């Protein structure tokens, strides 16, 4: 019989069980039927994945891949039963043995060296099987989340310590430089004033929420004392010998400017004299046209204290100053007794000192020829007014800068007008950061270099909030609410993904196409976060409508390693019936929870997460319009209800317990009211915190127990019912009845609970109930209000019989048990006889106290 093997194959032939020659092929070979048997061997390189191996000492998992080929087909058949399986088992044991001899640091550092060692071991062991191992690679080293967080925290602490050392060195150098600069500026008062103005200019360019202006005390204290209106000009500092007969020359600009103001000479004040108390100036005119000014000075003149009088005058001739005399008389003859000024030219004066010789210990007014900074000399009232205007101007400037800083510092969600949405927008993605420190004022985070943003810490948990389709371009109305409620859960980074430019478009298909581009943008940002020490386990993506699929795409691009994805009514159009990789699905994150509220319109039907919550079956929501005449609410109410339910659950005011079931019909029929699958825990509660009777698990940050249960159960569907308004919670009771009727009756049940003057109603009318002899029924009654204690119960069975005789309906037992409130005892009533279509009211008793 003729057989054929391909180029990359060989045939090993056995005749009556004995090997017949070597391997045959490629091409045609012949065998004898019923005598010869043969096996084909593939010579191509084959690869297989080494299953993850655990290292118990540090609880890590390491996996790899092995590439090998058969180089001797005969040996690979005759020496080993299954060469492929043997090679795989050998690779697993080799990897496990090698991990047992390595530390965590060695595994992370010497991955390539370990791969080479494995290749040598595998080659030496498998060559006797006709197998040649060509290459071994270690693919991944998976660390537990706790260890990743510890390593990230250690790296962050190291960086912070290094940063503090660098900052301290910089502060030291800066302090030295500031000291030198302060010493230089202290020698020049004008430099201090210029530096003050420069500081004001720098403050004005910053984006500060509050600006504090350091106002010089002389501007404030001037309002608390009477101003003389005269300016003091310090012409120099230090010590100098004041000798008799010494001639000192200085420009007369100071005296001249003051002379022009009053058409007479106004004497300047002595500087550096804290005890100086000048008296008001008196102007006197003589017959020869000279103007004289005189005043009494108390305090020191050039040395230590003393008393004296100052007389000054100017004689004018043809409009020019021809003579000036300045006489200082001292009570103590040890001090300078006379200083004479003589005009030698226009604006230039000589001063001659006569009297005793003495070193001046005050400020020597003649040591510098110029006054560096001079304000106009106003009268007292004008000086007070001018200073008041300066202070008022500074205060108004500060308030203006503060308002301007507040306007510029807050980054708001993009608000587009209807025209932009109508013509379409190009995609532009912004990240608005909110933390507990800036809940009222978002901060746009740069996509590239965000390490300098003080509010953003990569070691904190990070939650991304991703909106959906925005046909009008207006911001979502729930953005502010969700950021505040998320911040109340934990100290986290809250990043609002603003892709309004791209989602705002009348063409829905364009917005759908932009979802993948948006996801790629955010994925690149998350990669940069992980480079800086962020842990993927602590990242939570919350997506609304189209945003849920954006979150799914991000998770898929990150290999499903994101901690959690929450999908709030994922969009249905363009995503229904597509493969899992083209929409949100459980493989996109470690944990995916989905809330459905509008599956028959804009929402996506089916199961899309590890757990899917179906509010009111995921279809029409209570309180939402039923006709198109209600306008916009008819289209968005059911879809938006998912967001409001989630917000209510974050606020911990809506404990909405959901029950696992195959359909909503079975749920309202009372067939899925058990939580056996979650024991010893109770059924899950919608929201950020899954509550249990014995344990509370925060979704997104500590999911180990809840996630393990779901992975064992597979995809889980849970159902619950809501009211039309917050807190949306319905109070559910299990109604257990045992009927004893002579005739078969069909009808619906209407129940009323009474507590004082308050009454609440539950209608079990989704199907006709069967009342016949000895029938036990278990019903689910859901009330909009929670009344407690229940004092009376009203029951009516409506059969629709309005013409014929009314039949009796006998209940041997009716027991009403709270479903979500196990601490409340069940209530019972026994042997109750009632007529159809007639309400009967009775007072219930505790079941353990009742008797037949």
Distance of CA 670 to the CA centre of its chain: 42
Distance CA 466, CA 518 (A): 10
Contacts of 518 (CB under 8 A, 6+ apart): 427, 429, 466, 497, 499, 502, 550
More confident residue, 314 or 815: 815
- Does 769 fall in a domain? yes
Regarding whether 372 and 382 lie in a shared domain, the answer is no
Task: Give me the pLDDT at residue 399, please.
Answer: 54
Q: Please compute the mean of the pLDDT values over residues 131-148 and round it to a whole number.
A: 79
pLDDT confidence of residue 329 = 37
Can you give the length of the chain in residues?
852
Closest CA to 818 of 849, 852, 844: 844
Residue 92: per-residue pLDDT: 85
What's the sign of the alpha-carbon dihedral 662, 668, 669, 671? positive
CA 535/CA 412 separation, integer angstroms: 28
Residue 20: strand, helix, or coil: coil
Residue carrying structure tokens 């006197």: 284
pLDDT > 90 in the chain, percent: 17
The three-state (H, E, C) secondary structure of 668-683, written as one string: HCCCCCCCHHHCCCCC
Q: Of 314 and 415, which is predicted with more confidence? A: 415
| Residue 405 falls in the annotated catalytic set | no
Question: What stretch of H or E contains 817?
Answer: strand 808-818
Q: At 121, is the secondary structure helix, strand, or coil? A: helix
Instruction: Compute the distance between CA of residue 777 and CA of residue 739 in angstroms, rounded to an integer.
Output: 8
**Mean pLDDT of all residues in 555-561:** 92
Amino acid 805: pLDDT: 64
Helix (H, G, I), strand (E, B) or coil at 176: helix
In angstroms, what CA-CA distances link 666 with 670, 672, 763, 783? 7, 6, 16, 18
Q: Which of 37-46, 233-242, 458-467 has the highest mean predicted lDDT (pLDDT)? A: 458-467
The predicted structure's pLDDT at residue 476 = 92
For residues 35 and 121, state if they share a domain. Answer: no
623-629 CB contacts, 8 Å cutoff, 24+ apart: 623/723, 623/724, 623/725
Residues 110 and 26 in one domain: no
pLDDT value of position 557: 94
CATH number at residue 587: 3.40.50.1820
Asked if pLDDT for residue 816 goes beyond 80, the answer is: yes
Range of the domain at 176: 147-187
Query: How far, in whole angstroms, is CA 181 from its chain's centroid?
Result: 42
Residue 340 scores a pLDDT above 50: no
* Rounded mean pLDDT, 783-796: 89
**Do residues 656 and 511 both lie within one domain?**
yes
| Rounded-to-integer distance, Cα 212 and Cα 399, Å | 10
Query: What's the rounded Cα separation, in Å, for the pair 830 and 739?
Result: 11
Q: What is the pLDDT of residue 500?
A: 92
Report if residue 827 sits inside a domain. Answer: yes
pLDDT for the residue numbered 153 = 76
Q: What is the spatial order of strands in the sheet that 60-70 belongs to? A: 46-55, 60-70, 131-142
For the cut 90, the answer to whether the pLDDT of residue 483 exceeds it is yes
**Model confidence at 669, in pLDDT bands (50, 70, 90)?**
confident
Question: What's the burial of 129, exposed, middle or buried (CB within 10 Å: 0-12/13-18/19+)?
Answer: buried
Q: Using 50, 70 and 90 to split pLDDT, how confident is the model at 101?
A: confident
User: How confident is the model at residue 479, as a pLDDT?
Assistant: 92
The answer to whether 639 is a known catalytic residue is: yes
**What pLDDT, on the 0 to 100 scale, is given for residue 248?**
36
Reduce the secondary structure of 409-462 to three states and give it as a string. Answer: HCCCCCCCCHHHHHHCCCCEEEEEEECCCCCCCCEECCCCCCCCCCCCCCCCCE
Q: Please give the torsion angle defined by the CA atoms of residues 593, 597, 603 and 604, in that order, rounded to the nearest 10 degrees.
A: 50
Same-domain check for residues 33 and 113:
no
Winning range, highest mean pLDDT, from 252-256, 300-304, 393-397: 393-397
Cα 622 from Cα 721, distance rounded (Å): 9
Tell me what pLDDT residue 308 has: 35
412/432 Cα distance (integer angstroms): 8
Look at residue 687 and tell me if it is in a domain.
no
Q: How many C-beta neighbours within 10 Å does residue 575 have?
A: 20
In a domain, 14, yes or no: yes
258, 317: one domain: yes
113 found inside a domain: yes
Which residue did the predictor score with more confidence, 239 or 107?
107
- Which stretch of 289-293, 437-441, 800-804 has the lowest confidence by average pLDDT? 289-293
Residue 832 lies inside a defined structural domain of this protein? yes
**Is residue 600 domain-shared with residue 563, that is, in the same domain?**
yes
Residue 129 belongs to domain with CATH number: 3.30.479.30
Max avg pLDDT among 368-372, 709-713, 722-726: 722-726
| CATH code of the domain covering residue 793 | 2.60.60.20
Domain shared by 425 and 532, yes or no: yes
- Using the structure block, give the residue that is written with the tokens 């619950």: 720
Q: Quick one: pLDDT at residue 352?
A: 44
| pLDDT (0 to 100) of residue 359 | 34
289's CB contacts (< 8 A; 6+ apart) are 315, 316
Per-residue pLDDT band for 687 (boundaries 50, 70, 90) equals low
Would you state the structure tokens that stand for residue 72, as one six-digit string? 């001797």
Same domain? For 300 and 422 the reply is no
Q: Are residues 556 and 567 in the same domain?
A: yes
Q: Which residue has the higher pLDDT, 646 or 389?
A: 646
Residues 372 and 272 in one domain: yes
Rg (CA), the chain: 46
Q: What is the mean pLDDT of the chain?
A: 73
Label residue 249 by pLDDT band (50, 70, 90): very low
pLDDT(297) > 70: no
Does the model's pTM come out above 0.85?
A: no
SS3 219: helix
What's the structural domain count of the chain? 7
Residue 129 covered by a domain: yes
Question: Helix or strand or coil: residue 184?
Answer: helix
Q: Please give the average per-residue pLDDT across 698-712, as a whole number.
A: 53
Burial 53-64 (b: 16+ CB within 10 A, else e): bebeeeebebeb
Q: Would residue 457 show up in a list of annotated catalytic residues for this protein?
A: no
Q: Please say if the pLDDT value at position 25 is more than 70.
A: yes
Question: Do 314 and 455 have their domain in common?
Answer: no
Residue 684 lies in a domain: no
Judged against a pLDDT cut of 90, whether residue 714 lies above it is answered with no
Q: What are the distances in angstroms from CA 341 to CA 232, 235, 253, 310, 849?
A: 19, 17, 14, 13, 120
Q: pLDDT grade, residue 377 (50/70/90)? A: very low
- Whether the CB-CB separation of 43 and 9 falls below 8 Å is answered with yes
Integer Cα distance of 586 and 570 in angstroms: 13
Residue 446 backbone class (left: φ over 0; alpha: ψ -120 to 50; beta: rest): beta
Residue 611 β-bridge partners:
593, 716
More confident residue, 424 or 130: 130
Q: Which pLDDT score, from 0 to 100, does residue 310 have? A: 35
Please list, in sequence order, all residues whose beta carbon lies within 8 angstroms of the beta carbon of residue 737, skipping any fewer than 6 positions away: 776, 777, 779, 811, 813, 814, 815
Catalytic residue among 76, 337, 545, 681: 545
Question: Distance (Å, rounded) from C-alpha 536 to C-alpha 562?
Answer: 5
* Domain termination residue (choose one: 75, 108, 143): 143
pLDDT given for residue 345 in this prediction = 46
Q: Give the active site residue among 321, 593, 639, 642.
A: 639
Active-site residue among 537, 569, 588, 598?
A: 569
Q: Mind listing the pLDDT tens digit for each residue in 750-769? A: 999 999 889 999 988 878 78
| pLDDT at residue 76, as a whole number | 87
Over residues 14-26, the mean pLDDT reads 84
């Amino acid at each position: 019989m003729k057989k054929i093997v391909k180029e990359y194959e060989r045939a090993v032939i056995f005749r009556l069980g004995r090997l017949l020659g070597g391997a045959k092929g490629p091409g045609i070979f012949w065998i004898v039927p019923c005598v010869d048997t043969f096996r084909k061997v593939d010579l191509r390189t084959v690869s297989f994945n080494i299953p993850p191996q655990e290292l118990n000492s540090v609880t890590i998992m390491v996996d790899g891949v092995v590439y090998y080929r058969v180089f001797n087909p005969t040996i690979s058949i005759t020496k080993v039963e299954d060469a492929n399986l043997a090679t795989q088992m050998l690779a697993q044991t080799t990897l496990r043995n090698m991990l047992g001899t390595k530390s965590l640091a060695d595994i992370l550092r010497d991955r390539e060296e370990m791969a080479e060692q494995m290749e040598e071991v595998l080659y030496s062991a498998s060559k006797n099987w006709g197998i040649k191992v060509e290459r071994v690679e270690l693919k991944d080293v998976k660390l537990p989340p706790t260890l990743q967080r510890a390593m990230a925290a250690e790296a962050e602490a190291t960086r912070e310590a290094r940063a503090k050392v660098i900052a301290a060195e910089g502060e030291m150098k800066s302090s030295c430089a500031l000291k030198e600069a302060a010493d230089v500026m202290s020698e020049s008062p004008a430099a201090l004033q210029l530096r003050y103005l420069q500081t004001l200019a720098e403050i004005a360019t910053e984006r500060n929420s509050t600006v504090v202006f350091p106002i010089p005390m002389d501007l404030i204290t001037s309002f608390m004392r009477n101003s003389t209106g005269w300016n003091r000009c310090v012409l120099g500092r230090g010590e100098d010998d004041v000798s008799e007969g010494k001639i000192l020359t200085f420009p007369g600009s100071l005296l001249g400017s003051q002379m022009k103001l009053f058409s007479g000479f106004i004497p300047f004040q002595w500087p550096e004299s804290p005890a100086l108390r000048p008296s008001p100036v008196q102007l006197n005119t003589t017959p020869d046209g000279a103007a004289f000014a005189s005043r009494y000075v108390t305090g020191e003149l050039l040395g230590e204290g003393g008393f004296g009088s100052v007389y000054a005058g100017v004689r004018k001739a043809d409009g020019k100053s021809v003579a000036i005399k300045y006489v200082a008389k001292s009570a103590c003859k040890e001090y300078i007794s006379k200083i004479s000024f003589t005009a030698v030219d226009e604006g230039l004066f000589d001063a001659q000192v006569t009297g005793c010789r003495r070193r001046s210990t005050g400020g020597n007014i003649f040591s510098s020829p110029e006054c560096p900074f001079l304000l106009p000399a106003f009268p007292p009232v004008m000086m007070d007014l001018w200073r008041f205007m300066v202070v008022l101007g500074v205060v108004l400037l500060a308030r203006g800068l503060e308002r301007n800083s507040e306007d510029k510092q807050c980054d708001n969600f993009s608000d587009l007008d209807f025209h932009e949405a109508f013509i379409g927008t190009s995609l532009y993605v912004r990240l608005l950061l909110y933390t507990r420190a800036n809940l009222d004022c978002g901060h746009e985070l740069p996509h590239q270099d965000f390490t300098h943003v003080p509010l953003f810490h990569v070691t904190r948990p990070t939650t991304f909030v991703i909106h959906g389709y925005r046909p009008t371009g207006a911001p979502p109305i729930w953005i502010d609410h969700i950021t505040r409620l998320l911040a109340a859960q934990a100290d986290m980074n809250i990043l609002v993904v603003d892709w309004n430019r791209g989602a705002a478009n009348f063409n829905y298909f364009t917005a759908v196409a932009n979802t993948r581009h948006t996801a790629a943008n955010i994925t690149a940002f998350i990669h940069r976060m992980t480079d800086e020490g962020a842990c993927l386990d602590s990242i939570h993506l919350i997506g609304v409508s189209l945003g849920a699929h954006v979150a799914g795409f991000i998770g898929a691009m990150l290999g499903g390693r994101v901690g959690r994805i929450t999908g709030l009514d994922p969009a249905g159009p363009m995503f229904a019936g597509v493969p899992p990789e083209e929409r949100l699905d459980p493989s996109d994150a470690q944990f995916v929870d989905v809330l459905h509220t509008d599956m028959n319109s804009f929402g996506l039907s089916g199961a899309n997460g590890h757990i899917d919550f179906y509010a009111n079956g995921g279809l029409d929501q209570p309180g939402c319009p039923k006709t198109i005449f209600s306008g916009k609410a008819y289209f968005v109410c059911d879809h938006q209800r998912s967001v409001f339910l989630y917000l209510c659950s974050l606020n911990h005011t809506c404990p909405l317990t959901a029950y696992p079931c195959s359909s909503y019909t079975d749920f309202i029929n009372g067939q899925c009211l058990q939580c056996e699958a979650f024991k010893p825990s109770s059924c899950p509660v919608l929201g950020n915190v899954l509550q249990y009777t014995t344990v509370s698990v925060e979704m997104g940050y500590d999911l180990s127990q809840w996630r393990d249960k779901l992975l064992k159960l597979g995809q889980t569907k849970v159902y619950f019912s809501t009211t039309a308004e917050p807190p949306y919670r319905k109070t559910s009771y299990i109604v257990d009845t045992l009927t004893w009727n002579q005739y078969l009756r069909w009808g619906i049940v209407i129940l009323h609970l009474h507590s004082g003057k308050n009454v609440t109603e539950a209608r079990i009318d989704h199907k006709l109930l069967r009342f016949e002899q000895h029938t036990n029924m278990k019903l689910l009654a859901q009330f909009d209000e929670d009344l407690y204690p229940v004092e009376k119960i009203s029951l009516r069975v409506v059969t629709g019989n309005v013409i014929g005789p009314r039949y009796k309906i006998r209940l041997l037992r009716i027991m009403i048990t709270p479903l979500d409130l196990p601490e409340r005892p069940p209530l019972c009533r026994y042997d109750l006889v009632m007529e159809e279509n007639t309400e009967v009211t009775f007072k219930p008793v505790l079941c353990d106290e009742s008797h037949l």
